[in-house]
């Protein structure tokens, strides 16, 4: 068995696009295909994204033919523990990869995801803006008791995934404190689950986002984002920045069309702005850069005891 891939990173966060050799998921919409992927072909996800072929921070992107023929491509995002409705950094990485493949040119492209259609604009071979899915704040100032830290307050918001956003992190957002920040956010996520706190319609809050001030000139804030598999996001997180924009809009702290510059824990930067859809939802625009890092074949060799992933 041989699977072809192209790897990139967006602000330091890796994306692996599977371009050939993926499982046959049929021709229905992307949401239905993701369900088939999860129920019938999950071994493929584990094999291509987990060690020894991948690692915990990597996000996979299965390139699919779109069901909606107005789209240039379809994509299903996944990671080391499951599936993502949408992935901002991954979409930027996918756009750069499609350009490298000659599938798209500079300008606007449409991508079908399990949670809706996303538009991307390729400004250059590496610079991309995406118009994400409609985003909104579900609940404001939710308190949860976190073991070892006491009460922590945050907003619950949707940006393509469910987030718990904590302003004024009680721990310094310092790249030297990544282990401590990871442990803190894991505790928050466990506390939310234990308290029965979810997103709308019981959506699992699988991303935790901490905020603090940035020391970079012209940058509005710094974040630390815990991803579902327990790794931290090296980029400022596209869906997390979208959730942030929705909260800023609700609080009247950012007007439509104004730019919010978001720094990640390692210093990479996204620019975000939004259009107002209605009284509760915004349409985010996220701009960032991605760079190709490798391409090749993933191999399944007979007799390998770990060919299915670790």
Q: Determine, yes or no, domain membership for 157.
A: yes
Asked if 60 and 35 sit in the same domain, the reply is yes
Mean pLDDT of 244-250: 97
Q: What percent of the chain has pLDDT over 70?
A: 100
Asked if 65 and 178 sit in the same domain, the reply is no
Q: Determine, yes or no, domain membership for 287.
A: no
Asked if 107 and 78 sit in the same domain, the reply is yes
Asked if 93 and 224 sit in the same domain, the reply is no
64 is catalytic: no
Mean pLDDT of 148-170: 94
CA neighbours within 13 Å on the CB side: how many for 186? 10
Domain hosting residue 217, numbered range: 136-280
Contact 242, 159 (CB under 8 A): yes
Mean pLDDT of 208-236: 94
237 is catalytic: yes
Give residue 243's pLDDT band: very low, low, confident or very high (50, 70, 90): very high
**144 has pLDDT over 90:** yes
Q: Determine, yes or no, domain membership for 185.
A: yes
pLDDT averaged over every residue in the chain = 95
CATH number of the domain within which 243 lies? 3.10.310.10
Q: Determine, yes or no, domain membership for 305.
A: no
Contact 19, 2 (CB under 8 A): no
**127 has pLDDT over 90:** yes
Mean pLDDT of 277-281: 91
Q: Determine, yes or no, domain membership for 125.
A: yes
**2 has pLDDT over 90:** no
Give residue 160's pLDDT band: very low, low, confident or very high (50, 70, 90): confident
- Which is higher by pLDDT, 184 or 133? 184
Mean pLDDT of 43-69: 94
Asked if 125 and 176 sit in the same domain, the reply is no
Task: Give the pLDDT confidence score for residue 71 in this predicted structure.
Answer: 96
**86 has pLDDT over 90:** no
Contact 151, 145 (CB under 8 A): yes
Q: Determine, yes or no, domain membership for 304.
A: no
Per the structure, how many domains does the chain have? 2
Q: Determine, yes or no, domain membership for 309.
A: no
Task: Give the pLDDT confidence score for residue 58 in this predicted structure.
Answer: 93
Give residue 139's pLDDT band: very low, low, confident or very high (50, 70, 90): very high
Pairing verdict, β 221-226 and 260-263: parallel
Asked if 155 and 216 sit in the same domain, the reply is yes
**1 has pLDDT over 80:** no
Q: Which tens digits make up the pLDDT trace of 174-186?
A: 999 999 999 999 9
User: For residues 257-296, b (16+ Cβ closer than 10 Å) or e, as one string?
Assistant: eeebbbbbbbbbbbbbbbeeeeeebbbbbbbbbbebeeee
CA distance 140 to 16: 35
Contact 13, 84 (CB under 8 A): no
Task: Give the pLDDT confidence score for residue 67 in this predicted structure.
Answer: 94
Asked if 186 and 213 sit in the same domain, the reply is yes
Task: Give the pLDDT confidence score for residue 229 in this predicted structure.
Answer: 87
Asked if 56 and 114 sit in the same domain, the reply is yes
Question: Poorest-confidence range of 1-5, 174-178, 206-210, 273-277?
Answer: 1-5
Task: Give the pLDDT confidence score for residue 116 in this predicted structure.
Answer: 87
Marked catalytic residue, from 87, 227, 247, 307: 87
Asked if 160 and 123 sit in the same domain, the reply is no
Q: What percent of the chain has pLDDT over 90?
A: 87
Asked if 199 and 124 sit in the same domain, the reply is no
Q: Determine, yes or no, domain membership for 285.
A: no
Asked if 124 and 148 sit in the same domain, the reply is no
Asked if 160 and 186 sit in the same domain, the reply is yes
Marked catalytic residue, from 64, 71, 237, 247: 237
Task: Give the pLDDT confidence score for residue 16 in this predicted structure.
Answer: 97
């Amino acid at each position: 068995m041989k699977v072809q891939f192209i790897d990139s990173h967006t602000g330091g966060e890796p994306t692996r696009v599977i371009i050939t050799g993926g499982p046959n998921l049929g021709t229905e919409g992307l949401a239905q295909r993701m369900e088939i992927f999860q129920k019938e072909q999950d071994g493929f996800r584990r094999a291509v994204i987990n060690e020894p072929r991948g690692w915990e921070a990597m996000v996979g992107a299965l390139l699919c033919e779109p069901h909606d023929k107005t789209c240039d491509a379809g994509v299903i995002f996944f990671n080391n523990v499951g599936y993502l409705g949408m992935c901002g950094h991954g979409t930027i990485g996918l756009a750069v990869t499609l350009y490298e493949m000659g599938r798209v040119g500079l300008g606007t492209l449409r991508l079908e995801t399990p949670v809706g259609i996303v538009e991307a604009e390729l400004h250059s071979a590496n610079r991309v803006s995406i118009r994400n899915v409609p985003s909104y704040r579900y609940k404001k100032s939710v308190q949860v008791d976190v073991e070892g830290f006491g009460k922590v307050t945050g907003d619950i918001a949707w940006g393509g995934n469910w987030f718990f956003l904590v302003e004024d992190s009680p721990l310094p957002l310092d790249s030297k404190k990544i282990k401590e920040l990871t442990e803190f956010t894991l505790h928050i996520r466990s506390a939310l689950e234990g308290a029965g706190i979810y997103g709308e319609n019981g959506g699992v809050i699988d991303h935790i986002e901490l905020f603090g001030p940035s020391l970079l000139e012209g940058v509005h804030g710094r974040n630390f984002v815990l991803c579902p598999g327990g790794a931290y996001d090296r980029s400022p997180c596209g869906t997390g920045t979208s959730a942030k924009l929705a909260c800023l809009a609700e609080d009247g702290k950012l007007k439509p069309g104004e730019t919010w510059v978001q720094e990640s824990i390692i210093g990479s930067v996204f620019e975000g702005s939004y259009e107002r859809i209605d009284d509760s939802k915004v349409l985010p625009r996220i701009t960032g850069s991605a760079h190709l890092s490798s391409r090749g074949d993933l191999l399944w060799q007979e007799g390998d005891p770990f060919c299915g992933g670790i």
